[in-house]
A = this chain, B = another copy of it.
Amino acid sequence: MSLPHAILTSLAEKPGSGAELAQRFDKSIGYFWQATHQQIYRELARLEERGLIRSAAREATRGRKRDYAVLPAGLEELARWTVLAQDPLPVRDALLVRLRAVAVMRAGSAPGDTARAVMRAELARHRGLHEQQLSLYQGVEGDDFTAGSGAQAQNTPDLRLQRAVLRAGIMFEQAWVNWADETLPTLEH
């Protein structure tokens, strides 16, 4: 279970409120472990209860904003967790299940032909989404990991590791686009 540790990591990179965290989960760390604001607020409450983070109300701001920051015990927990052996999560891809479902429908039958046409469109649509994500990642790589980039504060995270994570995103999105290009002709009649 990685959500509390994803939150600890994100707070260790930069403290902030629940809403700010939720925004970061819509990009950055959330590209590899997403969460809704509900999950985030619940985890923040649990983490504070366990003494791993602390919070304080922020004045002169909208809503009831609170700032969260990691405590030393939180960093220890993070260090403890990262070194545990963990197997990769199995893949879950509904589109591949759907393709197999279409494979059992007779081509030539009405539902089979409709399904094939829809899947062709879906595949093209997904290709577009993955390509978009890909160029987003490539943009980040260009912005953050080129020669004259800033971030020379004392708490600098290891840029090489951050880049490696980004590269993973790039390679998987690229693989997805390549697969779609290879597969689309199969669905053309």
Contact = CB atoms under 8 A, between A and B. Distances in A.
Interface of A: 2, 5-6, 8-9, 12-13, 29-34, 75-76, 78-79, 81-83, 85-105, 107, 111, 114-115, 118-119, 122, 125-126, 129-130, 155, 157-162, 164-165, 167-169, 171-172, 174-176, 178-179, 182-183, 186-187
Oligomer: number of copies: 2
Contacts of A87: 129
Which of A86, A87, A94 gathers most chain B CB within 10 Å? A94
Given A33-B92, A78-B105, 4 more contacts: A2-B94, A29-B97, A31-B91, A172-B172
Contact of A126 (B12, B88, B92, B183): B88
Contacts of A111: 75-76, 79
Given A94-B2, A101-B5, A104-B12, A83 B115 contact: yes
Given A171-B178, A172-B175, A88 B93 contact: yes
Given A164-B99, A165-B100, A88 B172 contact: no
A88 B82 contact: no
A186 B165 contact: no
A9 B86 CA distance: 31
Which of A32, A89, A114, A160 gathers most chain B CB within 10 Å? A32
13 contacts: A2-B92, A2-B94, A29-B97, A32-B97, A79-B105, A83-B119, A86-B98, A91-B169, A102-B161, A104-B157, A164-B182, A168-B179, A171-B175
Contacts of A8: 101
